[in-house]
Structure 1
């Protein structure tokens, strides 16, 4: 379309300085089945050139279905926290350096192909994403139905949309520009869509499959008595190259009535952002008639190194392969020292590096990693610069100079010390959400600022419903929780499978390698409210309700506990409440069929 024609098709609203762009004027028309990527890439570049810095802009899409393929999309080198650092990423919606933008989908279905990052917003402020769906035509997770299971192996049939085959290395699936070999799986009950009781992560030895009919394969080495005919298995690898929505270095982002039905990584990943609001955001199936049983490869929403306030309200999170929400920072490991005020510190996890960690003026706390205790006084950054790369992209090592001298004991010796950025830590509201039928956990909070989780339904989360964690020797995810309120939530049959950190329905479980040497406590603290769990309803088939480790200040009160016979109890922890190295604990006025059993270690 010629530039003159484009210009005449753009209407400017009379009220204020808002510009409303009809995206059909750029040839972005629904229901054509053509590849819209080239047109979208050109449209966004043109709109940015015309309207950046000139007031609010609204991009309006017509309702309907739009297809986006890698060809013609925006190729961009991006390092995304908690994802595979493979580059470049093929981005459909690339938004960079924009102020006051609204993308209004009017209920549109944005359908992606191959390996793509659907939406990325970088270095922008006051951006709203509203009323659209994100999905993939051919997901990288392969869904299959168990046809036969006995001592000789398992026969399964892949879903109609799955493109499968086999070769000398076994079973594989393919799509536009990709091939996957599934080695793990999650089993779902066909009627309820819940994760099958006591199955957790399935091992899938599919290296010797043989075809038995159209879309059917027999795996002689896959033998599992828990697998019954009719069960649905989401077969997966552990690859997670891209989320559905990526936010980086942004301020004041609002996402309203957006639904992610599949993403190869997380549903939404935000890093180094300030103030994010999710309203009615969903990582969910397309209703009860959806033939799929899974959504995202990992977390529904994930916030890494953010600050300000994160709010997630009125959402639905189901069928994902990890948490509904995970909020944390990232510990750097001290790997060198130069003089009295400079440390070299490193991103340690292979899926978390390559992006900004802090800036001058930030407050940083050294951490003694084996015992997970603060070491010395907080420090203030005077300067921070990449040490192993010319710029931030791809960085692993930083040289950080502080405004005051560093304790002389803090060196690289023994890999003992980590650094936590206290400035880049957010407060969180997680309210009126439904979390159900997913793998591993319901929600995970690791931030020292105020967290409120209230009026949520955690329905068959499979693992722990709420986790407060922190570790400086594995995932390197900060940090200590000081002020957490968990109230008026309903928990239904968590812990039907065991994964990492699944000690109770609510697990306060920091990773502390030498707990016996810890002098203080990780979570809570005298000068903080601590962790308050009140007025919740627990409907459970098993014993453990609350597990807490290294916590100073814990209240468990006015909760209602009922037990059902939906499943046979099996958890190794037979105590309703288990406390390990805790103090200032109050357990009062809880309603239960009998006295709550408790052990204190």
Structure 2
């Protein structure tokens, strides 16, 4: 829908008001089931055709229809219209969803263990009410979803325009967004939906007109975990907050955004894909989600075309998805993202990575006990019989040995016993992790737009080939981040073949936390271990256009073969540089580095800093200082 006011009227029409309406929905559903069985819904050539008049609650409607499918194939075709989905009587199942919050989930489209599914919305609007996960795709042989829009009745973020701030009394006043519902209990504000409510927690400030994170937004970040905001309602929809702990009060005219406490605000992803293959998503708009818009794990060959995570036209909201637009954990085959729009979400556009498990105990010569390092990985299906694993040192992230899995026993969501086919009695496995080499994905990301989001554009951690071409990036933090971390997020994967070509990067790194590079290769390796070897290999950054107000463009650590060629760099004046003391290219502990044909236009000359590098060739630069210096980024980890 293009008209946000029309959308709000649709929501108001259908949101619950009393028990009579719920009873009416259930009675109407029972009546319609009978009509369905005698032909109100046509089922020709195994296609189940649906129209809006069949139910007020399609969660229940689909629950029974899918349960009746016997041949393993589901084809749903919706007549264009508006369809509502409620949680009360939807399918319920406990789900462990990596990088989100585990728990019992109500599911609107429960696709479990089908050989093939197809959903064609024909441009329909799917409106989800309350605590419900729209789509779960589990154990599928093939899936095609296309042509629909995902809405929620209430956003999973709290937003309000700053009307006043008072530095003397350390208070600020918000005009709460009309799309939010809230209540104040004691002196704490809770924002809420159909059947959920959250305290305030993680927060950020957005610029109202541009709908992007404000310049240097970290100055306004409130320390919610130790200092909950206190709230007083001055008049309906106007709330004054105190006990504010940040460098500066949020400025008048800007939008305060809050998504609730960490560990409680990732319950309702838009689409959860697990243990499936051959998944194609096309012409889908996700206008809100209470976690990641799409999370895929242990799946193969996923294609996204015109899969957009965005805001409905006409909406005054700043935020759609409250976490990543897309996220891929332990997948394999090819992940293809083409002609997609990812904007106004509160985390990355895409993250492709594996998972490290900590080695807690060597049980015997062929068995180890393992656990996850991050609580939002617990319950992840790390490995199965026949998988190839690799022991990795947590210090330098280098490989120790590869082994194969005989069996895996999960005693709890964070207690795994892994039996191996090989003898490991000769290995010293203190301070090590395991990585699964059987689930590694290639990625091709093309012709897409990432903008106005908190955090990075793309995170890539996979040894398989990756191509990032002809995209536009304008995020709050880094453009392309290539990391590797066995100590906090435990996201695995040294890259071996990454091409970043023909993209445009514009005014990234505005957040004001640690410096953010356009290409940021920063595996978490302590400085005492960086001479042990190289973690990443074969990264090519070429023929890109970079428009930036700040200085740090490329940060490269622990790379064998880094090529930076023919990039056009233009210094902009939209913002003042946050880190003016940094060099433009900062290369540390790398070898086989080739820098050539780059042009820089701006104040002064661009600088190249090298530290502890092997073979380096620099040739034919325009606008660069001829003198190579050592000016390592002193803000990054252990520099």
Q: Please say whether Structure 1 and Structure 2 have the same fold, judged by a TM-score greater than 0.5.
A: yes
Instruction: Report the secondary structure of 1:467's partner residue.
Output: strand
Q: How much does 1:343 deviate?
A: 1.9
Instruction: Give the structure-2-normalised TM-score.
Output: 0.85
1:211 corresponds, among 217, 227, 233, to 233
Distance 2:279 2:157 in 1: 30
- Whether 2:623 is the aligned partner of 1:586: answer no
* Greater Cα shift, 567-576 or 439-448: 567-576
1:194-233 maps to which residues of 2 (within 5 A)? 194-200=212-218, 202-203=221-222, 207-222=229-244, 225=248, 227-233=250-256
- Whether 2:624 is the aligned partner of 1:600: answer no
Instruction: Report the secondary structure of 2:433's partner residue.
Output: strand
Question: Which sections of structure 1, spanning at least 5 residues, go unmatched?
Answer: 390-394, 525-529
1:20-99 maps to which residues of 2 (within 5 A)? 20-24=47-51, 29=53, 34-46=56-68, 48-49=69-70, 51-52=71-72, 57-85=74-102, 87-99=103-115
- Whether 2:196 is the aligned partner of 1:178: answer yes
Q: Name 2:284's counterpart in structure 1.
A: 258
Q: How much does 1:348 deviate?
A: 2.4
Q: Name 2:267's counterpart in structure 1.
A: 241
| Cα pair 2:229 2:242 within 8 Å, conserved | no
| Cα pair 1:336 1:345 within 8 Å, conserved | yes
Q: How much does 1:495 deviate?
A: 0.5
Q: Name 1:543's counterpart in structure 2.
A: 551
1:19 corresponds, among 46, 55, 71, to 46
Q: Name 2:350's counterpart in structure 1.
A: 325
| Cα pair 2:296 2:329 within 8 Å, conserved | yes
- Whether 2:469 is the aligned partner of 1:454: answer yes
Please report the RMSD computed on the Cα atoms of aligned residues, expressed in angstroms.
Answer: 2.0
| Cα pair 1:150 1:225 within 8 Å, conserved | no
* Greater Cα shift, 130-139 or 317-326: 130-139
Question: Which sections of structure 2, spanning at least 5 residues, go unmatched?
Answer: 1-31, 612-639
Q: Name 1:504's counterpart in structure 2.
A: 517
Distance 1:5 1:464 in 2: 52
- Whether 2:563 is the aligned partner of 1:555: answer yes
Instruction: Report the secondary structure of 1:41's partner residue.
Output: helix
| Cα pair 1:428 1:451 within 8 Å, conserved | yes
Distance 2:155 2:592 in 1: 49
Q: Name 1:6's counterpart in structure 2.
A: 37
| Cα pair 1:10 1:20 within 8 Å, conserved | no
Q: Name 1:527's counterpart in structure 2.
A: none
- Whether 2:137 is the aligned partner of 1:121: answer yes
Q: How much does 1:516 deviate?
A: 3.5
| Cα pair 2:530 2:589 within 8 Å, conserved | no
Q: Residues 100, 183 of structure 1: CA spacing in aligned structure 2 closer, same or farther, 3 A cutoff? A: closer
| Cα pair 1:149 1:224 within 8 Å, conserved | no
Superimposed CA distance per residue, residues 446-465 of structure 1 (whole angstroms, 9 cap, x where no aligned partner): 00000111101002x01111
Aligned residues: 568
Q: Name 2:434's counterpart in structure 1.
A: 419
Q: Name 2:318's counterpart in structure 1.
A: 293
Instruction: Report the secondary structure of 1:586's partner residue.
Output: strand
Instruction: Report the secondary structure of 2:598's partner residue.
Output: coil
| Cα pair 1:244 1:260 within 8 Å, conserved | yes
Distance 2:513 2:199 in 1: 23
Q: How much does 1:596 deviate?
A: 2.7
| Cα pair 2:187 2:232 within 8 Å, conserved | no
Q: Name 1:159's counterpart in structure 2.
A: 177
| Cα pair 1:199 1:226 within 8 Å, conserved | no
Superimposed CA distance per residue, residues 19-65 of structure 1 (whole angstroms, 9 cap, x where no aligned partner): 211124xxx538x7x3332112112222x23x32xxx5420112122
Superimposed CA distance per residue, residues 84-138 of structure 1 (whole angstroms, 9 cap, x where no aligned partner): 12x2111111001112221011111111122111100100111111111112111
Distance 2:531 2:415 in 1: 29
Instruction: Give the structure-1-normalised TM-score.
Output: 0.91
| Cα pair 2:469 2:500 within 8 Å, conserved | yes
